[in-house]
A and B are shown apart, each in its own frame.
Chain A
Amino acid sequence: MAFPHRPDAPELPDFSMLKRLARDQLIYLLEQLPGKKDLFIEPDLMSPLDRIANVSILKQHEVDKLYKVENKLVLSSNEQLCFLVRPRIKNMYYIANLVKADKLAGRTRKYKVIFSPQKFYACEMVLEEEGIYGDVSCDEWAFSLLPLDVDLLSMELPEFFRDYFLEGDQRWINTVTQALHLLSTLYGPFPNSYGIGRCAKMSYELWRKLEEEEESETKSRRPEIGHIFLLDRDMDFVTALCSQVVYEGLVDDTFRIKCGSVDFGPEVTSSEKSLKVLLNADDKVFSEIRNEHFSNVFGFLSQKARNLQSQYDRRRGMDIKQMKNFVSQELKGLKQEHRLLSLRRCQLGMRGEVTVPPADAAKGLYFPRRDPWLLVGGGLLWSQMGKSTSTFCLKIFFLWTIKRHPSRTSNVSSLFVILADIGACESIMKKKTKQDFQELIKTEHALLEGFNIRESTSYIEEHIDRQVSPIESLRLMCLLSITENGLIPKDYRSLKTQYLQSYGPEHLLTFSNLRRAGLLTEQAPGDTLTAMESKVSKLVTDKAAGKITDAFSSLAKRSNFRAISKKLNLIPRVDGEYDLKVPRDMAYVFSGAYVPLSCRIIEQVLERRSWQGLEEVVRLLNCSEYSFAGMWCGGCGWGCHLVLVCQCGAEATDPTDMTKEDRASSESLRLILVVFLGGCTFSEISALRFLGREKGYRFIFLTTAVTNSARLMEAMSEVKT
């Protein structure tokens, strides 16, 4: 469990500085409005804000009341109103309405709009058109990098994916550029750069320009992070579309990790409160299991549980007083660990074990519902401990143990009888899946490997017919489409028809979106394709031609997954069983069935320090023009690309011109920043963490947002509002 890093693995830089910077800037902005003020916050910004400055900090700077920016108008009595928003047009209307209402009422107060991470001209224009531009002051909170974990920086811009990959809107690229600039200012230059994808290339070039223009002090700094790799999400949709089976990914798929923490609602906690658990490297148990395949986590947690049980067993033979003592003293220390542990097992039970355990198996073990749990052995009523948030976890944990291992529960059940309202728990399980998780995984693997396509197609059809889940159905359709280079026309029509019948006609728009993004397409008739394709790719690459119709662009985005998979050996040949306990490659994040394409590309390029030998893969990815690798001149320390004439006077055209020492020193830097444009999944993070451990690297992840299959599909879905 939790393999240690190699001794030569580098230390991670301290990213907490980013938080401090953001906090200081926010405080500065708040102080620009001296005195009491009410703060209106965009809902999307609440969690990130919470990680930067909590309520007490806001209060210190005279924030009086906090409101959500939402559809209904709020009556605030404060004389100063401050709005903290994303640069979205609908927010501008919200603010405009509020200001105009004040004007009508003859009221004057101060308004300040703080845009995060930057303001857009279009927003200011709306304020102007609404006639309130003169009434508000606008500012920017350049908060674009939130350290979610020691190695994970998120821009918290989930809309990046839809805006760029569907709408072709490039405005967030500037934000990316600024974020990269900030990183290189704080942590020194990145000597080696690689990337693939249209957006990656554009971000890279704009960032370089910015560095050159600013001639910042980074030049003289020693690089800390040796390599940067930029990758567009549309290079690899497949990985993002797969069900996640690594623990952290599984939790994300099941409960949605939001801004580094997960909210367990009343149905999990079986109390009225919901519980927020922060998931990061600070949590010892979690950091041991986050990157593990979930099948190992069961074993690991069982072991932990057994240890805990034996500690509980020590209570045997105690009198009531001693027992109470034990409860108050010893349990206190165990509580935290126990609580998280049990929660986790509970989550696993819900997802991993899909068939609901026979209710009556557990029924015999508990008494009437809605009682606190109690200890039979000592006759101690555990309710004395009160029904704190931690006890419900213990409760669920044991409940789960009983359900999972009826044979092994004898000692547990002899100790405890759990009187719990497991209704909530059951309801989740019921809701969770109408179909077998194993079946689902099996189908996914078949799609990845490209066999039994007919069977998988029927499986998906049944999935749709049974209305299992609109998002899941869509995901499977996309997975089928990408792995098969588009659906055959008959299936394309029939699956869509079925989908519309199940989930409503508005999804005709969803399909149009998916097609444009290249996620769900129709196979073009075989022969004409190649001729057409070459014509189209010319069209696409020819800037002057400009106009590309949707049909062409989706054609141009032929995924070629099968060919790429073969070239990069994404489906490992397995003799015997894949040992998930001792993974041998990154495929373990998908039960040994598939090496994530994105991670494989990164691995290969880092190994070669270039795209050399990967030309065919690049071509298959439709990225011949959008892959790049650059090294920075050692002569002046930083500042000029080797293919350009170096400003320090050295003229170099080839990386080999670099002195050996320079190369060696920059390459010896084993910290690698991977930038995912359009989001990355926890599975990819786990896979690269694994690769890092194997090779003695440390990866740092920068993503526009953490994503998963459901989020991608939702971004593409049209919903009635």
Chain B
Amino acid sequence: MDCYTANWNPLGDSAFYRKYELYSMDWDLKEELRDCLVAAAPYGGPIALLRNPWRKEKAASVRPMLEIYSASGVPLVSLLWKSGPVVSMGWSAEEELLCVQEDGAVLVYGLHGDFRRHFSMGNEVLQNRVLDARIFHTELGSGVAILTGAHRFTLSANVGDLKLRRMPEVPGLQSAPSCWTTLFQERVAHILLAVGPDLYLLDHATCSVVTPPGLPPGVTSFLQMAVSFTYRHLALFTDTGYIWMGTASFTDKLCEFNCNIRAPPKQMVWCTRPRSKERAVVVAWERRLMVVGNAPESIQFVLDEDSYLVPELDGVRIFSRNTHEFLHEVPVTSEEIFKIASMAPGALLLEAQKEYEVQQKDVSDEDVARAINQKLGDTPGVSYSDIAARAYGCGRTELAIKLLEYEPRSGEQVPLLLKMKRSKLALSKAIESGDTDLVFTVLLHLKNELNRGDFFMTLRNQPMALSLYRQFCKHQELETLKDLYNQDDNHQELGSFHLRASYAAEERIEGRVAALQIAADAFYKAKNEFAAKATEDQMRLLRLQRRLEDELGGQFLDLSLHDTVTTLIVGGHNKRAEQLSRDFRIPDKRLWWLKLTALADLEDWEELEKFSKSKKSPIGYLPFVEICMKQHNKYEAKKYASRVGPEQKVKALLLVGDVAQAADVAIEHRSEAELSLVLSHCTGASDGATADKIQRARTQAQKK
């Protein structure tokens, strides 16, 4: 434990700060840092250096070098700067290097010095030149703020969505402000600047004077200002060596400190972390580093070398020619120390670590991925897909894939896999995620990427994706659907496809019959004889219906076989009806039901009777009784009631209202069920005798 507490420095009663080495720097700097423009990406990201010859006003023939290093000083790239003079550099949240030129042009480079794009900060900037520039980060993205030679500010809050805002003029401003910074409040970027003893706040429309609460009198100038990583706090360093710390909204003062050093500090940054107990700023001079907060004493460190401070979400990075250190507030209990690595704020450490790991080129992908996983585990907030994206950015595709395997949310893996052209893997992952939209996205990717055959083959092994694509084709690309079935030798579905086409897509009868023929062939291939035969029958029927329409007029097309025959009978074409039912082998029972219904509808009682006598009814005679009664023809009904077989006789007699005879039959049958049925129909006054008769029969039956 000693090693942990040895470097703890108390600040006030509650908080400790410690500074420890992250890396010894691998870089071999030829120049001093102070001679360079320095830009260090937040979250432990890379460092860019640009030797700054313009400042020394040397001959323009000496072109500067732009160098990019990892956080540990491993050179990533070095290139000759061929563009114009650079005033300021900074990294965007996407780890792109933004170089602001004197003429207001901003050149954007990737991590490996690859030129991405450039944009201009506008005409006004071009005319008046850039005096100073800052790259800043907000929830909107990364922004650029420019101070021009005319002492005006221009800013863009998000370079990804470039909108230039020219800030209003500060009245009476004759010289450059002594210091300035960007603030971010209520989703709007502001500029805070100090001119002599005054502080001005600029927003899009107005310029207002602000006064920090509790600022002692006697300040004639502000030498430095620092806004915290989250934009919540502000620190001001005055020419009296006094440091004011408060909220960036100027509503509260947190604390103050008098360091009695009047020399302007080189840098001043906040050193806090989420949920920190203390709010402190770190002030750096040439050889001195000071941590001050709400305490009478400060912590002081000696700087051996020219150093550079990088504010982070959870502390401050300090790097120099030889070392890269981290200064931060120590969590209260040593228990929590061990948690540091797993806590979200510790992302810095993790990021730095993984950045380092990813760049170990001599170790196998498998090992690197495993090493990273062992260090990070399943820490919430750590996104393996992001790390993998980095690995891919470094050109290590295989490592990226290995890393992605540790990503628990399969949906998160998909975009990168697609980018890496691992579409098939992306498809499986998308399916795993259960997000059909994602699957669909991948499908369309695949469709463009692969040739048709390969695409179909891929689908073939993914039933879920296949059905999704089929659904899509049904609405969008019917022809593709057909090809899909063809490719699969899915003759059954092909048959169904053409069958549907025969009435949905085709209009002309020839086209319809042709479609049916293809369908029938497909069904044969699918060994579905039933469907094939049924389809052939339909072809015959269609042709026949057309002929009927030609010869008889009226509407026959698209009627079912049953309805076709019915229509013929109703139209009086009995011969044709008979022919048709023979040709299509309509079973007797169906034919009888059909004819019975048709003739009753026509109220052609004579024909019905003739029909009933043509042979023995295969459906019995009760249906005849029923249908006559339905047409309210009791007379006809009675004719058939007598022919109803014994089993249904009672029912038939009751239907025609002959309760008495029904009773007789029921008694004869000695059927209790029938007797009760008849009894329930004995309602009228005239049925009294019948009811008695049944009761007598019942008692008799019981006696026996």
Contact = CB atoms under 8 A, between A and B. Distances in A.
Interface stretch (B288-296, B437-445, B636-644): B437-445
Given A213-B409, A467-B562, A497 B632 contact: no
Interface string A367-383: 00000000000000000
A647 B592 CA distance: 73
B467 to A, nearest CB: 4
Interface string B456-485: 000011111001101110011000000000
Given A170-B464, A171-B468, A547-B461, A497 B496 contact: no
A508 B499 contact: yes
A546 B460 CA distance: 8
B648 interface: no
A44 B496 CA distance: 28
Contacts of A466: 593, 597
A232 to B, nearest CB: 16
Interface stretch (B205-213, B217-225, B531-539): B531-539
Contacts of B379: none
B301 interface: no
B561 interface: yes
A408 to B, nearest CB: 11
B593 A407 contact: no
A466 B591 CA distance: 10
A300 B648 CA distance: 34
A721 B562 contact: no
Contacts of B4: none
A651 interface: no
Contacts of A206: 434
A500 interface: yes
A89 interface: yes
A465 B441 contact: no
A324 interface: no
Interface in A501-530: 501-506, 508-509, 512
A126 B475 CA distance: 10
Q: How large is the interface on A (under 10, 10 to 19, 20 to 34, 35 or more residues)?
A: 35 or more
Contacts of B464: 168, 170
Contacts of A167: 467, 470-471
B530 A496 contact: yes
B436 A508 contact: no
Given A121-B437, A501-B561, A508-B534, A89 B503 contact: no
Contacts of A493: 530
A170 B492 contact: no
Nearest to B444: A125
B446 to A, nearest CB: 14
Interface string B531-572: 100110110010000000000000000111110000000000
Contacts of B435: 174
B145 to A, nearest CB: 32
Contacts of B538: 505
B586 interface: yes
Interface range for B: 35 or more
Given A120-B437, A121-B441, A547 B562 contact: no
A550 B492 CA distance: 9
Interface string A162-199: 01000111110110010000000000000000000000
Contact of B534 (A503, A505, A547): A505
Nearest to B467: A168
B80 interface: no
Interface string B626-664: 000010100000000000000000000000010000000
B586 A501 contact: yes
Interface string A677-721: 000000000000000000000000000000000000000001011
A512 B560 CA distance: 19
A202 interface: yes
Contacts of B630: 430
Contacts of A504: 558-560
A171 B472 CA distance: 12
Interface string B323-350: 0000000000000000000000000000
Contacts of A720: 503-504, 558
B287 interface: no
Contacts of B462: 546
B627 to A, nearest CB: 9
Contacts of A550: 492-493
Nearest to A356: B630
B382 to A, nearest CB: 14
Interface string A455-494: 0000001100111000000000000000000000000010
A122 interface: yes
A509 B500 contact: yes
B467 A547 contact: no
Interface of B: 409, 434-437, 440-441, 444, 460-464, 467-468, 470-472, 475-476, 490, 492-493, 496, 499-500, 503-504, 530-531, 534-535, 537-538, 541, 558-562, 584, 586-587, 589-590, 593-594, 597, 619, 630, 632, 657, 683
The list of the 3 closest CB pairs from A to B, nearest first, reads A168-B467, A171-B436, A505-B538
18 contacts: A121-B440, A167-B467, A169-B467, A170-B464, A170-B467, A170-B468, A174-B436, A465-B589, A465-B594, A496-B530, A500-B534, A500-B560, A501-B561, A503-B560, A508-B531, A509-B500, A512-B496, A546-B462
Interface of A: 89-90, 120-122, 125-126, 163, 167-171, 173-174, 177, 202, 205-206, 209, 213, 358-359, 406-407, 430, 461-462, 465-467, 493, 496-498, 500-506, 508-509, 512, 546-550, 718, 720-721
